[in-house]
Amino acid sequence: MKTYLVIGGSSGIGASTIERLIRNGDRVIATYHKNEITSQHPNLSTLSYDVMGYDPLNLEGIDKLDGMVYCPGSISLKPYNRFTEEELIQDIRLNVLGAHKVIKEVSSFFKKSPEASIVLFSSVAAGLGFPYHLQVGISKGAVEGMTKSLAAELSPNIRVNAIAPSLTNTPLAENLVNTDEKREANGKRHPMGRIGESQDISAMVSFLLSDQSSWITGQIFNVDGGISSLKK
Ligand SMILES: NC(=O)c1ccc[n+]([C@@H]2O[C@H](COP(=O)([O-])OP(=O)(O)OC[C@H]3O[C@@H](n4cnc5c(N)ncnc54)[C@H](OP(=O)(O)O)[C@@H]3O)[C@@H](O)[C@H]2O)c1
């Protein structure tokens, strides 16, 4: 049985990832921040953790991890001249520095795993320019750089990959997906004719955490309904 850490398992893609891993028979330690995780299962333990805070992650009783996924992130959409330096720094702390901090904190738990895997989150907006996405582009661009540098440094013992989703129906994207009209209009922008669901993305998380992807590292995977590479 593999043991995986899900940072940000109380919502969206993280919550869907927990369901998948438990269904696969894995053991999951999942963190939440503002919203408690309500699912219950003998293979699931939960703990409160704020990646922006100073308290360390308490993994008492755990002796090894086979992988982790870092889900906290933001979609801060503003014109380039309408956000403050402090707002940008907060985005970088949540998306980039928080992931680096967790990886440093848990790296010793990976040593006992024959094949550990780390999954990070970029965004379609790191590889494709959209107006008002400068904060996202900067912070997720850094995640992509971190993915490749870390993958080089940690190979062959630990694999590191990132997923770059397009618009996905989760609480994070609420403002963009909270009516049928918005979901339909945003869906039409994608060659696959719809926006993403958490399950579309958690399927890739589960694959990248598992040994099925054991020859894949340092990659950024676009899971985006085709929007980053197709024109219709
Ligand atoms: N949804 C999209 O359209 C989309 C598109 C591109 C990229 N992404 C990326 O995909 C990843 C997952 O997104 P999602 O849509 O699943 O987001 P989500 O529904 O907002 O879930 C984020 C999770 O992170 C946790 N979290 C937030 N702030 C935290 C903090 N300070 N400390 C610890 N945990 C914290 C949340 O916990 P609580 O709920 O308990 O506070 C929640 O469990 C993000 O990196 C996002 O940038 C999403």
* CA 214 / ligand 1 centre spacing (Å): 26
Q: Examine residue 231 and state whether it is found in any structural domain, yes or no.
A: no
pLDDT band for position 232 (50/70/90)? Answer: confident
Residue 192, CB-side half-sphere exposure with 13 Å CA sphere? 15
Averaged confidence pLDDT in the chain: 97
In a domain, 132, yes or no: yes
Ligand 1 centroid distance, CA of 114 (Å): 29
Structure tokens belonging to residue 182? 């918005």
Nearest ligand 1 atom, CA 198:
16
pLDDT digits (tens, 9 = 90+) for 38-64: 999 999 999 999 999 999 999 999 999
- Structural domain span for residue 76: 3-223
Write out residues with Cβ below 6 Å of ligand 1.
Answer: 8-14, 32-35, 49-52, 71-74, 94, 121, 123, 165, 167-168, 170-173
Q: Is position 229 within any domain?
A: no
Instruction: State pTM to two decimals.
Output: 0.98
- In a domain? residue 84: yes
Residue 152 belongs to a domain: yes
Q: What is the pLDDT of residues 172-188, one digit of tens each?
A: 999 999 999 999 999 99
| Percentage of the chain exceeding pLDDT 70 | 100
Total structural domains in the chain? 1
| Ligand 1 atom nearest to 136, measured from its CA | 47
Q: Report the separation in Å between the CA atom of 189 and the middle of ligand 1, taken as the mean of its atom positions.
A: 23
pLDDT digits (tens, 9 = 90+) for 68-103: 999 999 999 999 999 999 999 999 999 999 999 999
Which protein residue has the closest C-alpha to ligand 1 atom 19? 12
Answer yes or no: are the C-beta atoms of 202 and 13 closer than 8 Å: yes
Domain presence at residue 21 = yes
Q: Report the CATH number that the domain containing residue 83 is assigned in CATH.
A: 3.40.50.720
Answer yes or no: is 232 within a domain. Answer: no
For residues 60, 66, 67, 68, the Cα torsion angle rounded to the nearest 10 degrees is: -20
